[in-house]
Amino acid sequence: MRLFVVGLRKLVRRPATFVTLGLLVGLLALIYLAVGATAKQAAAAGNGGQAALLLVTFPGAYTLLLSFILGLGGLFAMIFGAAIAGSEWTWGTLKAAVARGESRSRYQLLSFAAISVMVGIGLLIAFAIGLVVTIVAAGLAGVPTTGIDDSATLGKLPPLLLRGWLALAEACALGYAIATLARSQLAGIGVGIAVYFGEQFASIFLPNIVKFMPFNAATAVVATSGQFGGGGGGPAPVRLDPDTALVVVAAWLIGALLVTALFTERAEISG
């Protein structure tokens, strides 16, 4: 428990936590405001603006916003996980803890538990800010926000946010595991980004396999009519149904943590 609490404190004091969240929220705001400012004209000109308007039309905007956060946020969560895990090796702080007799796997798993809590908080903050930005963007686009209090959609939000949290935690765990294997922040982030974009690219050729891959499964845990932040253009992606995706995401999450714990237990810690 001490490790978990200290883990949270470390993350609150760490600039990377706020930089990552700031980048996600900043990009989200930029894209939504741009959509809000241009969608109406684009729709009038018949340039696909109708689809863009869906992004700021409630109640569907709720799930689209969550989908957006899971897509782009998945990448950021993975980078965040890699940064935290990698720095434990490069700064030698894992070494210092192990030399004090701390269990290696316990240290890693409790550190990750703290990170996943921060990711959950980050998701809530991003969603809340995203909602405000969506309302502003709807105003810019001249779209009424009448569906904002749709009780059926609002009732579904908590379980959807929980699913989203699991999806982001999975991406984060993946980055955490890669950086642990690489024992480096930079290598972890680099390989993680390559996996993320590699998966998007491979989905063009091997959609039936790639739908089981971590990032595709993560975006599928929230059923939406569109996809944002996970690559654009091309044919409609082949997706798992949300419940199957949830199981696949949980499997990736557990697998990543197992790899992290086992590797750390067996690793020769030097440097």
Partner 1 sequence: MTEGLALATRGLQKRYGSQTALAGLDLTVPSGVVYGFLGPNGAGKTTTMRLLTGLIHPDAGTIEILGQPFGRRDRRRLFEVGALIESPSFYPYLSARENLRALAAAGAPTPRSRIEELLELVGLRDRARDKVQTYSLGMKQRLGIAAALLSDPRLLLLDEPSNGLDPAGIVAMRATLRQLAASGKTVFVSSHILGEVEQLADVLGIVAAGRLVREGPIQQLLQGEGVVRVRVPVADVGGAMRVLDALAAGGAGAKADGDGGWLSIHIAPARAAEVNRALATAGIYASGLETGSDLESLFLELTGGDGSNDREGTFGVAGASAAPAPRPGAGGTP
Q: Which of residues 200-219 bind partner 1 (CB under 8 A)?
A: none
Q: Which range, of 53-61, 87-95, 154-162, 166-174, touches partner 1 by CB under 8 A? A: 87-95
**Shortest distance, CB of residue 171 to partner 1, whole angstroms?**
24
From candidates 27, 50, 92, 118, binder to partner 1 by CB under 8 A: 92
Confirm or reject binding of residue 155 to partner 1 (CB under 8 A). Answer: no
From candidates 45, 100, 152, 232, binder to partner 1 by CB under 8 A: 100
Would you say 106 or 156 has its CB closer to partner 1? 106
Would you say 103 or 153 has its CB closer to partner 1? 103
Task: Give the distance from CA 98 to its chain's centroid.
Answer: 30
Burial 249-269 (b: 16+ CB within 10 A, else e): bbebbeebbebbbebbeeeee
CB 204, CB 234: distance < 8 Å: yes
Confirm or reject binding of residue 103 to partner 1 (CB under 8 A). Answer: yes
**Shortest distance, CB of residue 100 to partner 1, whole angstroms?**
3
Task: In whole angstroms, give the CA distance from residue 86 to residue 179.
Answer: 5
Would you say 51 or 186 has its CB closer to partner 1? 186
Q: Which of residues 3-22 bind partner 1 (CB under 8 A)?
A: 3, 5-6, 9-10, 13-15
Residue 87 is given by DSSP the state: H
Task: Give the distance from CA 142 to its chain's centroid.
Answer: 30
Task: In whole angstroms, give the CA distance from residue 41 to residue 48.
Answer: 10
CB 223, CB 60: distance < 8 Å: no
**Dihedral-angle region of residue 124 (phi above 0 means left; psi in -120 to 50 means alpha; beta otherwise):** alpha
Any alpha helices (H) in the chain, and if so which ranges?
2-13, 15-44, 49-54, 60-90, 93-99, 104-141, 151-182, 185-205, 207-210, 214-220, 242-266
Q: Which range, of 96-104, 124-132, 145-153, 184-192, touches partner 1 by CB under 8 A? A: 96-104
Confirm or reject binding of residue 151 to partner 1 (CB under 8 A). Answer: no
Interaction pattern, residues 229-268, with partner 1; x per rule: CB under 8 A: ---------------------------------------x
Confirm or reject binding of residue 156 to partner 1 (CB under 8 A). Answer: no
**Tokens 């316990």 appear where?**
106
Task: In whole angstroms, give the CA distance from residue 221 to residue 166.
Answer: 9
Confirm or reject binding of residue 107 to partner 1 (CB under 8 A). Answer: yes
Q: Which residues have C-beta within 8 Å of that of residue 76, sequence separation ≥ 6?
A: 20, 23, 24
Would you say 8 or 162 has its CB closer to partner 1? 8
Residues that bind partner 1 (CB under 8 A): 2-3, 5-6, 9-10, 13-15, 87, 91-93, 95-103, 107, 268-271
